[in-house]
Amino acid sequence: MTDQPRTPAIEALEAAGIPFTVMRTEIARSAEESAAFQGIPVGSLLRSILVRRAQDDFLFVLVPGGRRFNWPKLRQLLGTNRLTLPSEEEAKAETGYVRGAITPFGARRPWPVIADASIEGLDLVAIGGGARGVNVHLAPADLIRATGAQVVDITVPEPPAEPATAEAPPPDPSPDPAPDPAAG
């Protein structure tokens, strides 16, 4: 690739001497589409999720495509009863990156990183390169070493997508029922 983008993430990887390859693609609408654009299995694609532990205390959670992190496992690991996701504006302020491009590499502050244990068996992983449509491919061991990631089993498989039905049921002509106070 001749026109390698310059982002804080790519500059941080270069400065650390981490071997990586930049992959530019169209902006994907899903993890499956992004993996297809990059020619990798969806499980090799990592989402970097910024999680708030407390006021001014965040961490990155790296979650492979096709999986989601398990809130109870993460709370137990961190010894807290409450974790939240910051707003898009807060995430950009903390990382310097827009949602869809967040990565621990080159972030404004070096928050701790937790990576799901499933990445250890992979040949390579793809993680955001600091701009939408820019990913970096690197060995999981290099990612773990460069970020100081704690590697823990913290995810579960995404539930299978509901199959589309050929025929939708007819609309219910009755008004919405009153909420059941016992439900909920």
Q: Give pLDDT, residue 165.
A: 55
User: Could you tell me if 97 and 107 are in contact, meaning their C-beta atoms sit under 8 angstroms apart?
Assistant: yes
- Helix ranges (H only) for the chain are 8-16, 31-38, 71-78, 88-95, 140-147
Q: Give pLDDT, residue 167.
A: 53
Q: If pLDDT is split at 50, 70 and 90, which confidence band does 170 have? A: very low
* Side chain identity, residue 124: L
Residue 3 has pLDDT above 70, yes or no: no
Q: What is the mean pLDDT of residues 130-139?
A: 94
Q: In a 3-state reduction of DSSP, which class is residue 52?
A: strand
* Side chain identity, residue 179: P
CB atoms within 10 A of CB 126: 26
Measured between alpha carbons, how far is 164 from 35 in angstroms, rounded to an integer?
23
The CATH number that domain 28-157 falls under is: 3.90.960.10
pLDDT tens digits along 76-105: 999 999 999 999 999 999 999 998 899 999
User: Could you tell me if 13 and 20 are in contact, meaning their C-beta atoms sit under 8 angstroms apart?
Assistant: yes
Q: What is the mean pLDDT of residues 97-118?
A: 94
Residue 179 has pLDDT above 50, yes or no: no
User: Can you name the residues that pair with 116 across neighbouring β-strands?
Assistant: 152
- Domain parsing of the chain, residue ranges: 28-157
Selection from 8, 2, 102 nearest residue 62 by Cα: 102
